[in-house]
Amino acid sequence: MNAKTIGMCLLGLFVAVSAGPAHAATETVGGITYTYDIYSGAAYLGNSGSSPAIDRNTAGTIVTPTTLGGVPVTSIGPGAFWYCSNLTSIVVSEGVRYIGDYAFSFCAGITNLTIASTVTSDPAGIFRGLDSLRTLTLPRSCLTWAQSSGYPGVDYTLPAAVAAQITSVTLCGNQWTEIPKQTFARFYSLKSITIPAEVTNIESYAFAYCTNLETVTFAEPSSLRTIGEAAFTGCSKLRAISLPDSVTNIETAAFANNVSLGSVRLGTGLA
């Protein structure tokens, strides 16, 4: 059984669970025709998961519509853009709250995926098969992939090969109160990161072995208090870092094995 067949079986499982009464409609926005349902006064891209949201051969950039059928788009169904391999960029517009499992899986041509700060769901499998992904924008809600799944057989992982090629990550929204353990470890191509002002704790190994990381910026006014054990260990291209005054605790080996690091500015919280 090949990867696509396995993936289709998994998608079918989630479709069977999530599908409701079908009242599909279509509307063309920006030259792209979208299939959608309307439930409780809001639009749901992809006919409740039972059909794709767009033609699989659609090429170029998708910016999901903010309204369809005269109502706001708040949901993207399971597999809505599954195997749309000619797309180069997917931007989930602000206002979307739910993204279904495998919504973007195997969009092998996309180099950019932007997930709106309003998204509160944590879909499985959305990063599978994103072989060309280079830039990623995501809210705090979409982070189960960085941790172990509590649901055997459900894919909440960010494949290592995908993580290794991402050059830019933007952390959007105001829910980033911590960077969880190992979240961006071994993002080997990541060049820079801005830590949101709301973050109070960068947990252990959060950016470990990001071997191309050159710049770490802390948004102001920073709330950061703790930099965890080995949080930035092995970031061999990081040359300088200026810590905000709010930092009061740096744990063991936070900047270990950073062979190029020549300057660390300690804020007043560590003076």
Residue 6: what pLDDT?
Answer: 46
pLDDT value, residue 21:
43
* Contact by Cβ (8 Å): 145, 169: no
- The two tokens of residue 90 are 């997917």
DSSP letter string, the chain: --HHHHHHHHHHHHHHHH------EEEEETTEEEEEEEETTEEEETGGGTS-SS-TT--EEEE--SEETTEEEEEE-TTTTTT-TTEEEEEPPTT--EE-TTTTTT-TT-SEEE--TT-----SSTTTT-TT--EEEE-TTS-GGGS--SSTT------HHHHHH--EEEE-SS--SEE-TTTTTT-TT--EEEE-TT--EE-TTTTTT-TT--EEEE-SS----EE-TTTTTT-TT--EEE--TT--EE-TTTTTT-TT--EEE--GGG-
Residue with tokens 């005269």: 70
The whole-number pLDDT of residue 48 equals 57
Paired with 45 in beta bridges are 36, 76
Using the CB atoms, write b or e for 218-256: b if 16+ within 10 Å.
bbeebbbebbbbbbbbbbeebeebebbbbbeebeebbbe
Residue 1 is predicted with a pLDDT of 52
**Tokens at 67, concatenated:** 């309204």
CA atoms 150, 193, 108, 27: torsion sign: positive
What pLDDT is stored for residue 149 in this prediction?
36
- Give yes or no for a contact between 112 and 89, defined as CB atoms under 8 angstroms apart: yes
pLDDT of residue 94: 97
* The predicted structure's pLDDT at residue 203: 95
**pLDDT tens-place values along the chain, 271 residues long:** 555 544 555 455 444 444 444 468 999 999 999 999 999 999 999 865 556 899 999 999 999 999 999 999 999 999 999 999 999 999 999 999 999 989 999 999 999 999 999 999 988 888 989 999 999 999 998 876 544 333 334 455 678 889 999 999 999 999 999 999 989 999 999 999 999 999 999 999 999 999 999 999 999 999 999 999 999 999 999 999 999 999 999 999 999 999 999 999 999 999 7
